Structure 1
Amino acid sequence: MLLRVGATNGRTGGKRMNPFQVVHDFERALSDYTGAPYVVTVSSCTAALRLALRWWYLGHGEREWNVTVPTRTYPSVPMAVVWAGLRPLFAEMEWSGMYVLYPTQVRDAAKRLTGHMYCVGQFQCVSFHPQKPLGLSNGGGAILHDNAEADVWFRRMRFDGRTEGIPTKDDEYTMIGEHCYMMPPTAAEGLQRLSIYAREYDHANQPSELELYPDLSKWAVFREA
């Protein structure tokens, strides 16, 4: 049975319920499972990659950087690279479950979700798309990381540049954010599924099936980016 999520105007004992508490609970459960000190859930793995890459770019001088991307991967990966202000540089490579977007510390881990998978110093982006390991009905993604400063930035970026817990009219906007936070019903499903997955379906990797992806290096849209 899925956890019930309180309505935004619900009250318990005179105290307003926080409908996003279940999102925080899911993030803590993922932290315990993967070993990542911080977990930030978002609406998709692509959003996770975009935010993680943008954070890296802002911290490295905002100059032109080439980022190595497999020629055969999902098209939104090099798109996330471009949106972050970087340039995709395609390379032939075999990968299984996860790969590094060199020279960044960002890893596309869309096809991996295992216990204690976190790698120190990395920003690992996982996917909850229905066809990925955990497989949530409405998808979603998360950034696994160990950077306290980045954690604050990610949480504001995913929430329209807002500060969590502060009403819109009372907040002070200091950044242009995105609208890519995870909704409570998705987190509630994830919390339930993770408890089962951790016991019964903790597979090392989902097959990469590279032959199903096109050769992205041939796409003009990326050569012109």
Structure 2
Amino acid sequence: MFEETMADYCGSKYAVSTDNCTDALLLCCEYLKVDEVTIPSKTYLSVPQSIMHAGGTVKFKDYLWSGIYQLEPYPIWDAAKRLTSNMYIPGSYMCLSFHIKKHLKIGKGGLILTDDKDAYDWFKKGRYEGRGEVMYHQDNIQINGWNAYMTPEQAARGLMLMQNYPENNDDLPEKPYYRDLREFDLFKNIEVVK
């Protein structure tokens, strides 16, 4: 019910809930088998880590963003700081966050918005150890999935919060500003593109 509510509110055909936005990004990167991905140098540090865990190479670009940005050139959007009605970009995979500091303060949780049925089916299995909607001993596991699903308790809280949720919201402010990720040893040798 939470996924249906979010898809309807955001204007996408499908929504797949996850345990956080980081895992939503990881699932998208895994599904698309990303190669080189360009992101802003000032963003949350789990974004490049998700790309790297999926086998991709990160490149940084110096620019300020507000609310949402693309993991270029892929149709993956980090929308952790945006949640407003009809925000979905057709043909994309938009990843949302429900951290306590975000719009919908579930406490923990994420979501992937999409209009791609094949991706939707893959994300549902990928977030749940590769399992379908049957008991795992009755299933034929075909993909190497993750334990990245949203708990029923988190989904119920999200449904409760959506009952009085406003139709339109501004993007969350960028303050405190994200640290330039190149300051961390893990990312100091990453190429910067113009």
- Shorter-normalised TM-score: what interval? over 0.9
Matches within 5 A, 1:1-225: 25-57=1-33, 65-137=35-107, 139-164=108-133, 166-198=134-166, 202-209=168-175, 212-223=177-188
Contact 2:182-2:189 at 8 Å conserved across structures = no
Distance 1:34 1:150 in 2: 18
What TM-score, normalized to structure 2? Answer: 0.93
Residue 110 of structure 2 aligns with an amino acid whose one-letter code is G
Shift of 1:177: 0.6
Runs of at least 5 residues in structure 2 that lack an aligned partner in the other structure: none
Q: Which runs of 4+ in 1 moved over 4 A?
A: none
Q: Which has the larger radius of gyration?
A: 1
Shift of 1:194: 1.1
Q: Provide, for residues 59-109 of structure 1, a one-character-per-residue CA deviation record: whole Å limited to 9, x for no partner.
A: xxx7xx221111111100100110111111011111111000101100000
Contact 1:33-1:198 at 8 Å conserved across structures = no
Rate the CA distance shift 1:197–1:219 in 2: closer, same or farther, 3 A: same
Distance 2:67 2:163 in 1: 21
Runs of at least 5 residues in structure 1 that lack an aligned partner in the other structure: 1-24
Contact 2:11-2:87 at 8 Å conserved across structures = yes
Give me the CA root mean square deviation.
1.4
